[in-house]
Amino acid sequence: MYDIAIIGAGAVGGFVARELSRYNLKIVIFEKEVDVAGGVTKANTAIIHSGYSPKPGTIKAKLNREAIEIFPQVCKELDISYKKTGSLLIAFNEESMEAVHKKYTRGIKNGVKSLKILTKEEILAIEPNMNKNVYGALYSQDTGIVNNWDMAIAPCENAVDNGVALRTREKVYRINKSEDTFYIDTEKDQYQSKVVINCAGLFSDEINQMVGKKSFKIEPKKGQYFILDKNQGSMVNHVIFLAKSENDKNTKGMIIAPTINGNIIIGPSSQNPCNKEDMSTTVFGLNKVKSLAKDVIPNLDFSKTIKTFAGLRPKVDFAEDEENDFIIEEDQHVGGLINVAGIKSPGLTCAPSIALMVKDIVENILGKLQPKDDFNPYRKKVIRFNELDEEERNKRIKENPLYGKIVCKCENISEGEIIDAIRRNPSPTTIKGLKFRTMVGMGRCQGGFCMCSLIEILSRESNKKRLRWDGDKNSLGDKSMEKMDG
């Protein structure tokens, strides 16, 4: 019997597990994918929002403010790459400037610090590649960028190190409750738990309906993105948001931003996909993104695109307005079931503070939680060879010559780093999982140079002869090799 069963091992599920692992609780996480960070977390803008956008008084506004305060310490403890860049919400006419002023007013009400309205001249002084017709902008100092994959991988690693059981490739297909016990059926076994925490992202409505009444429905929203080569990285210095016209329904709000690894990410579009697993890109969606981006930074060179991709956001479809606040509460009809749903932007930012809110709900159900004496908040340090100085590099190579064997020349990733990632817990069992942990194969050639070496290393270290790329159809397993189309 578990005290806590968490469904979903994305950023939210990972941070909830990590927070609850501080206490004397028996905890399990179920994840239907082969690895953590397999859903909403894996494909987004990876931006840490300062908090001026949510409607004052909402759960989003409260948690965004709280998250910004604790974020630097969280990243320090979990060794998550994070950089405070600041942001500009830009306008090109009086109409969109009204939207900028509204966001400024919201930000002040939400307690956001260091907000400032900038003139055209002030904008061009800090963003010289900006369209010279820019009208004005809202500057926010606290906006930052992060490694979005690490926002799930790191807390899950720390949670597992602190005693949480992680069960990947275990899709939950039935939940029943009898008296004070939940009976959870997966594809592999049946489990019992006192509390169920629903962090299933796009599928959280389906999990809710297994045991509760239909109280909400998730509608996926698809966003499409470009990643530009690092030689375009100097084109922007801040996270740039394009103030969205009230009549524009084709974009979430254009973003042009540096990534934590020095590339530029551009997007997203906004479409209603056919299903919750539709990660396809379209010519129409990408062209829309490209056109808007060129209006903002005219000299962006899209011939330097190294990757396009799509991500899905979980929107609650019957909200009264477009605010779509988070759902974080014990189910009204089923005691012990905690729904954490509709977690879209700024959900990545809020994941640590969502976990604190969930912990309080758990205490209301189970009573005062008893802290562990041996809880360790620190994740095992990740060796990032290209961030080391020459002295430290030489030291590492002397200790282990594989740190001097560069496998990925685009991102300067060594075999030592790859092996270190494979030997962590949870271990990547797919090529894509390895990429998410090390950035290997994420550069200009997108694995064209290093893929054969990656396959050989992962096969050797995992003691598996057959590998697949990602997911149940092409993951590491005992079936024959399937397509490697990523």
Dihedral sign for Cα atoms in the order 274, 278, 281, 287: positive
Residues with catalytic function: 49
List CB contacts of 99: < 8 A, sequence separation 6 or more.
91, 243, 244, 245, 246
Listed residue (344, 347, 307) closest to 441, CA to CA: 307
Distances (CA, A) of 119 to 51, 112, 172, 254, 273: 22, 20, 53, 20, 39
Burial class (CB in 10 A: 0-12, 13-18, 19+), 384: middle
Tokens representing 109 are: 């009400």
Tell which phi-psi region holds residue 356, choosing left (phi > 0), alpha (psi between -120 and 50) or beta. Answer: alpha
Closest CA to 383 of 42, 81, 10: 81
Q: At what angle do helices 347-366 and 59-78 cross, to 10 degrees?
A: 100
Q: Are 418 and 410 in contact (CB under 8 A)?
A: no
Residue 14 neighbours by CB under 8 Å, 6+ apart? 29, 36, 37, 151, 152, 153, 154, 155, 156, 159, 351
Cβ contacts of 176 within 8 Å, gap of 6 or more: 182, 183, 185, 211
Element (H, E) at 418: helix 415-422
Provide the 3-class DSSP secondary structure of residue 416: helix
Measured CA to CA, the distance from residue 223 to residue 123 in angstroms comes to 27
The candidate with the shortest Cα–Cα distance to 100, out of 298, 272, 244, is 244
